[in-house]
Structure 1
Amino acid sequence: MTVENTSTLRLRLRPPAHRVSRKAVGQWTVSAAIGWIVVIGVQAVVVATSDDPPSWLSVTLTICCVLAAAHLIVMPQWRYRVHRWEVTGEAVYTQAGWLKQEWRIAPISRIQTVDLERGPIEQLFGLAKLTVTTASAAGPLHISGLDHERAVELADELTRTTQASPGDAT
């Protein structure tokens, strides 16, 4: 698959060169654990405080505990192996996901905005998410799990490169 822009530059979809920060594994684990704690906690409270809890609830609680453990062990490591990014003078490349994987490429000339975002858990781990909005109907490119300082440098670099690129990004 290739993408062409107005200067007839041909860009090939390929695996990006850089992995996200290793600290992203911890962030993904904590984020997923919060969800599992809520699901398991609600069931555990009902089982523990009910005089006659339904038997199916004990079964679902056990299943959730097993699924949570498997999810928290497998998902963060798998995502770390898949998530990649790269910025060249011509394009931004991303690869993300774990069950459903997505590879994206955006020519520099199509970039409209570059945003940096840090939620509470990302701040705890010193990470950030970079969002590159383009004129694509597929939506923006996201690079999650970047070291905060690297994300700031990358946002500055993309801003400079985009400003130097001719065209109106449409």
Structure 2
Amino acid sequence: MSEHSTNTAALRLRPPANRVSRRAIGYWTATAAVFWAVLVAIQVVIVVTSDDPPAFLTVTLVVSAIAGPLHLLVMPQWRYRVHRWEVTGEAVYTQAGWLKQQWRIAPVSRIQTVDIERDPVEQLFGLAKLTVTTASAAGPLRISGLAHDRALALADELTKTTQAARGDAT
């Protein structure tokens, strides 16, 4: 068996070992709460200020008032249980999503860039997103919900591992 086929056989899609930061639960809750608050506020303003509000808008307001809190209770916890990541000397593994779940694996030899991104709310929660760009047509791998210091250490580790790996990342 050649070295290439041995490495390929070792890189099986499997559940990654590490969970994201617990602070991601608060981040996901806060960002979803803003969405629901804006949606409900717009509906309330239209219903209250309109002389003859459409009947469907009252129904959607009631649905939003029920669905919003349920979403805020279920989604962040579910995502926390699903979102995982792992980095080995051979590959980066990710698992993400909550309704639609995605598992990805990228051999270290295929990594082209490693980036860290933080939106203002992530900064408030001390979180960051790590993006690993590869030569894959499926696009980059993203690990959301990492503690900022962990994301920095992981980016450093991946950069060192990538530089040591053979291959041209194409």
Classify the TM-score, shorter chain: over 0.9
Supply the AA of the counterpart residue of 1:114. Answer: V
> What is the aligned residue count?
167
2:75 is aligned to 75
- What is the aligned partner in structure 1 of residue 47 from structure 2? 47
- Structure 2 distance, partners of 1:155, 1:7, is 27
1:109-148 maps to which residues of 2 (within 5 A)?
A: 109-148=109-148
The Cα of 1:7 is off from its aligned counterpart by 6.3
| AA at the equivalent of 1:19 | R
Which amino acid letter does the alignment assign opposite residue 42 of structure 2?
A: V
1:12 aligns to what SS in structure 2?
coil
CA RMSD of the aligned region, Å? 1.4
Q: CA deviation at 1:81?
A: 0.2
Higher percent of residues as helix? 2
Give the aligned partner of residue 167 of structure 1. Answer: 167
Distance in 1 of aligned mates of 2:144 and 2:6: 30
State the partner residue of 1:101: 101
Measure, in 2, the Cα distance between the counterparts of 1:53 and 1:106: 52
Write the distance in 2 (CA, Å) between the matches of 1:133 and 1:155. Answer: 12
Say which SS state the counterpart of residue 103 (structure 1) adopts: strand
* SS of equivalent residue, structure 1 residue 79: helix
Q: What is the percent sequence identity of the aligned residues?
A: 72
Question: What TM-score, normalized by structure 1, do the two folds share?
Answer: 0.94
Q: AA paired with 2:60?
A: T
Runs of 4+ in 1 over 3 A off after TM superposition: 5-8
> Could you list the per-position Cα deviations for residues 113-160 of structure 1 after superposition, in whole angstroms to 9, with x for gaps in the alignment?
000000011001000000000011100000000000000000000000
The letter of the residue matching 1:130 is L
CA distance in 2 between counterparts of 1:67 and 1:57 reads 15
| CA shift for structure 1 position 41 | 0.8
Structure with greater proportional strand content: 1
Q: Aligned AA for 1:155?
A: A
- Structure 1 letter corresponding to 2:127: L
Gaps spanning 5+ residues in structure 2: where?
none
Three-state SS of the structure 2 residue aligned to 1:128 is strand
C-alpha separation between the residues in 1 aligned to 2:37 and 2:71?
13
